[in-house]
Structures are given as C-alpha cells and as structure tokens.
C-alpha cells in the first residue's frame, strides 16, 4: 500500500519559501541573500539593478548625474555601474539582491565605514555618502579600487561573496590585503598601495600577488574568500 509523500508538495514549498514579517525594522533579512526594506512614506538608496520584487506603492528614480555636484559626476563617469544608485521612494516592501551574494546589515552610530563601491547594496536616506578613489593608483588598476564612504547614523547593507572575515588593525599589527578581496574597512583607516616588484613585472597581472593594500592604525578590515575583478567603465 502506497503512502502519500508530502515533502515535495507545492503547499510545502510555498510555506517554506514564502515571505515572512519578522518585525526587525527598516532592514530585514528575508534570507541570507535577500534583503527586505520596509518603506513607510520614505526612501532608501539602493544599488542600481538590485531590485528583484516589491509590494505596495514604490517609485524608482535613478540618481541624477549632478546630484553630488560636478566632482561627483566626474567620479561616476569612471567608476562604472557598481557605484550607481537608485532612489526607491514610497510605502511598501522592497526586496533586494545582488547576484546571490551574502548580505550583511550594519548599523552606523555616528560612525564611518568605507566599502568597495560594488559591494554597497543599500543604505538609509540620512546616511551621508561619497565616492573616493585610492590615491596613487594608476589607471590600469582603477577598475576595482573605487570606494564609497558611508557616515553618520543609520542602516547600511553590504554584500560579500561567501562568509566575510574581519581583521583587527592596530599600530603594532598592520594588515595587508588583496585589493580584489577587500570589501570594507573602518573610516579611521587610510590604506596605502604596497608593492615590492618592478613596474615591468606588474604588466598583465591583477592579483594580490602583484600589489597589496596596507592598513596601519586602529580599526578593522573586511575581506572575502573571493577575488572580484572589475573593469572600469565610461
């Protein structure tokens, strides 16, 4: 006599994967790779192209090229899609994701963090932001070395490939990282580009074996077990 196997029914699938309200506030982790943003007649800045679904009345507006002034326009002209933002405004539930990357929610309390521009998923409207490029970086390396500085008080969501690792930096213990595996660092740090090889040997190489980011001072650095390679875009 056969028995009915209820493990794979549509009903069970819906129950296991359906959206759930957890009452966690403005940012809510719907899953490790999907962020829910609860809008109530306000707005949030999101990475362009990260919206996968929404409920309610939400309008989307691409950030104007001159929203951050002429300097901001020139920065965005060379940072590519990774640094471009969309303003989601209204009331409802907004769902964001970025190529299945893992999402980390951070609460800033009058603090500053610097994040690889491509790894910023979303942040609250009252968080101050700016785009910067590492000093002394040649154009051949610039594709993945743009960062977004986020400061103030509010929620920020960033993404990582797989599980991140946070390393503590002290004056006695500097930290060296592969630029393509570096996700974020505390605003108290100003990294330097470090290399011990000649310019000729760097031609055609883009990995951390060629050059490293050097962090000295007091703070932390977040890295991921994955090397992202970017191409600068016009």
pTM: 0.81
Lowest mean pLDDT among 27-41, 43-57, 71-85, 209-223: 71-85
> Which of 58, 110, 107, 116 shows the shortest CA–CA distance to 86?
58
Looking at residue 83, its pLDDT comes to 62
Give me the mean pLDDT over the 195-216 stretch: 63
- Rounded to whole angstroms, how far apart are CA atoms 221 and 168? 7
Look at residues 52, 53, 73, 78 and name the one whose alpha carbon lies nearest to residue 63: 73
DSSP 106-132: EEEEEEEEEEEGGGEEEEETTSEEEEE
134: left (phi over 0), alpha (psi -120 to 50) or beta: beta
The CATH fold assigned to 23-223 is Double-stranded beta-helix (3.60.160)
Q: Is the pLDDT of residue 145 over 60?
A: yes
Residue 4 pLDDT: 63
Mean pLDDT of 51-66: 86
Domain parsing of the chain, residue ranges: 23-223
Q: How far apart are CA 130 and CA 199, in angstroms?
A: 31
């Amino acid at each position: 006599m056969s028995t009915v196997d209820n493990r794979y029914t549509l009903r069970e699938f819906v129950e296991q994967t359906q959206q759930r309200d957890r009452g966690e506030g403005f940012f809510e982790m719907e899953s490790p790779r999907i962020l829910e943003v609860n809008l109530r007649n306000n707005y949030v800045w999101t990475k362009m192209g990260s919206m996968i679904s929404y409920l309610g009345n939400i309008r989307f507006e691409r950030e104007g090229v001159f929203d951050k002034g002429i300097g901001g326009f020139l920065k965005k002209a060379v940072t590519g899609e990774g640094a471009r933002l969309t303003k989601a405004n209204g009331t409802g539930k907004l769902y964001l994701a970025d190529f299945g990357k893992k999402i980390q929610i951070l609460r800033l309390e009058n603090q500053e963090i610097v994040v690889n521009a491509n790894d910023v998923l979303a942040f609250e409207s009252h968080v101050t932001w700016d785009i910067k490029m590492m000093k002394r970086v040649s154009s051949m390396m610039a594709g993945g070395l743009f960062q977004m500085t986020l400061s103030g008080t509010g929620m920020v969501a960033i993404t990582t490939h797989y599980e991140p690792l946070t390393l503590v930096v002290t004056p006695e213990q500097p930290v060296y990282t592969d630029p393509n595996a570096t996700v974020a660092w505390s605003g108290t740090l100003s990294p330097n580009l470090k290399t011990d090889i000649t310019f000729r040997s760097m031609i055609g190489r883009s990995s951390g074996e060629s050059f490293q980011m050097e962090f000295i001072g007091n703070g932390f650095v977040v890295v991921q077990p994955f090397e992202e390679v970017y191409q600068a875009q016009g």
